[in-house]
Amino acid sequence: MDCFKDVKICFLADKHDLYDDRIYWKMAVPMKKLGAEVHYYLIGPQADEGRTPEGIEYRIWALKAYSKNKFVNFAIKRLNPLNNYEKIYDACVELKADIYHFHDLWLNRIAPRLKALPHYPVVFYDAREPYAEDYRSLDNSGSLSKMLVGIFASWVDRWEKKKASSYDRVIANEPGVRQEFAKAIGEDRAVVLYNFLDRTLFAGDLKGVTSSEKTNGFNGNIQFSYRYKRYDLIYCGLLTQQRGAWKLLEAIRELKPRIPELQVLLLGKIDPPGLREEMRSFIRRHDLSTTIEMKAQVPYEQVGKYYRASRIGLLLWQPVSSLQIKMPIKLFEYMAFGLPVIGSNFGHIADLIERESCGITVNPENTEEVAEAVESLMRGEKMYTAMRNNGIEAARVKYNWQKEFDNLCNHYKKALDER
């Protein structure tokens, strides 16, 4: 298992954590197991450096914030000659990696210069988000601000595509983003690596989760598929207003009188920070404190135990332009752990749920429709079991990270050969 022996790889990020699921667990650690020397440089909450238990050498530069306004903050960072991006670039020059694989938009500021280094490194850009659409989807309070954000988003789109012309590969995690880059840099250099579940990370948690497992505990009147499940509903991942924070709470408020025993887990980061307290206030006002548990983000490798303790997965993203493009990893996680999904009726969410018959699609803005979908799954044992089994089988057979990782290795090898 040393097919990348003597190859030095450096992953770069400015918006993702050290133990990010895609960068660290799905790319860096497996490449280390294949013999590569792996480094991970990133911008994080505080400066640090060292070696992880999995053998990944890392350096973290402390995030600097000059203003609460993200556009002012961006401008100041761009003008500051001693910004973190220049420090990362200098560290990359010193490292002399064979491959620089970077994630996140603003690292495009230094990536073309990495490609131009005299030792001819390979450079991959993991374009994980439709960044221009993210900006266009920001809530704005007037036509002027909307126009300015639109102008900025269009500039970002042109700038990103121009920078990408320098790279060996641009990787998207869904076909739409890949196609936009293919138009700019050519079909061969724009590829898709789907962000499927790496089952090896959850081998213990997935043990016994099969499509042949029988349901327990439906009593004919209401209730629960699995006798020992703690939570009836789970939402896992980043939660924002656009990702359904308020509609989710309103749907639970609708459900509580119908299902007094209902238990819900909201697991993950809530953004902006003040939203968490606003949600807690809603929960207190509507007497939902014994119904809803809010738990902060946990290490990725611990997420599985919460899925095992849950019955139904929620994915109520709101119909803003950027979220109609993105393909959420939590959908594949829900499926793998046998959680039928109640998801938004648009984009990749609806396509996958309907294709695999692993849940119910709803209008995420209609809380009554969401509540009815939850109730129908909790009352309908046959429907629940069928959707659960469909999800498990599809995740096992079709939506598995190992094939995507093999493709990544092939792209690395080809780019190194071309080098």
Give mean pLDDT, residues 325-354: 96
Whether 180 and 268 share a structural domain = no
Confidence check: pLDDT of 221 > 50: no
Whether 128 and 144 share a structural domain = yes
Whether 185 and 39 share a structural domain = yes
**Tens of pLDDT, residues 168-182:** 999 999 999 999 999
d(CA 193, CA 401): 9
Whether 155 and 59 share a structural domain = yes
Residues in contact with 54: Cβ distance below 8 Å, sequence separation at least 6, in sequence order: 28, 29, 32
d(CA 30, CA 171): 18
Number of domains composing the chain: 2
**Tens of pLDDT, residues 247-301:** 999 999 999 999 999 999 999 999 998 999 999 999 999 999 999 999 999 999 8
d(CA 395, CA 152): 39
Whether 279 and 300 share a structural domain = yes
User: CA nearest 374: which of 231, 215, 246?
Assistant: 231
Whether 315 and 390 share a structural domain = yes
Least confident of 58-62, 89-93, 277-281, 415-419: 415-419
Q: Is residue 178 in a domain?
A: yes
Whether 188 and 43 share a structural domain = yes
Class of residue 240 by CB neighbours under 10 A (exposed 0-12, middle 13-18, buried 19+): middle
Whether 183 and 204 share a structural domain = no
Range of the domain at 378: 199-397
pLDDT band with cut points at 50, 70 and 90 for residue 23: very high
**Tens of pLDDT, residues 30-49:** 999 999 999 999 999 999 99
CA distances from 270 to 3, 86, 243, 282, 293 (A): 41, 30, 10, 15, 13
How high is the pLDDT of residue 387?
A: 97
How high is the pLDDT of residue 226?
A: 45
Whether 218 and 132 share a structural domain = no
Whether 371 and 404 share a structural domain = no
**CA atoms within 13 Å, Cβ hemisphere of 402:** 7
Whether 153 and 215 share a structural domain = no
pLDDT band with cut points at 50, 70 and 90 for residue 207: confident
Whether 212 and 332 share a structural domain = yes
**Strand order across the 264-267 sheet:** 292-295, 264-267, 231-236, 310-315, 341-344, 359-362
User: CA nearest 380: which of 226, 251, 225, 256?
Assistant: 225
Q: Is residue 1 in a domain?
A: no
How high is the pLDDT of residue 219?
A: 42
d(CA 355, CA 314): 18
CATH code of 408's domain = 3.40.50.2000
- For the chain, the straight-line distance linking the first and the last C-alpha, in angstroms and rounded, comes to 23
Give mean pLDDT, residues 15-29: 96
Q: Which residue has the higher pLDDT, 223 or 204?
A: 204
- Residue count of the chain, please give it: 419
d(CA 264, CA 278): 17
